[in-house]
């Protein structure tokens, strides 16, 4: 599902919206359709995801996260 960021030119509201097909989009605050599309932030920029099962295990004596000192 693509998420797009828009900024409303009427009221300056920034918002993210899921876009399905060519559905018409309007500002959630003032309902204006005069919007400026920004780059999608979906999974690319922004939050950096840690590798699953690596640092989250919190164990320094094994690499698999399955020894007795793993939580």
Stretch that binds Zn ion, among 3-11, 42-50, 51-59, 62-70 (CB under 5 A): 3-11
Among residues 14, 16, 18, 32, the one that binds Zn ion under rule CB under 5 A: 32
The interface region with Zn ion, picked from 17-25, 30-38, 41-49, 53-61 by CB under 5 A, is: 30-38
Q: Counting contacts by CB under 5 A, is residue 63 touching Zn ion? A: no
Is 18 or 70 the residue whose CB approaches Zn ion more closely?
Answer: 18
| Burial group, residue 67, by CB count within 10 angstroms (0-12, 13-18, 19+) | exposed
Backbone phi and psi for residue 58, each to the nearest 5 degrees, phi listed first: 70, 25
CB 56 within 8 Å of CB 20 = no
DSSP code for 5: E
Interface residue with Zn ion, options 3, 14, 16, 30 (CB under 5 A) = 30
């Amino acid at each position: 599902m693509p998420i797009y960021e828009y900024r409303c030119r009427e009221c300056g509201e920034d918002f993210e919206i899921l876009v399905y097909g060519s559905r018409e989009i309007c500002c959630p605050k003032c309902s204006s359709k005069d919007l400026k599309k920004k780059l999608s932030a979906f999974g690319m920029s922004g939050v950096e995801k840690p590798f699953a099962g690596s640092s989250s295990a919190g164990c320094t004596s094994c690499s698999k996260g399955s020894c007795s000192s793993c939580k």
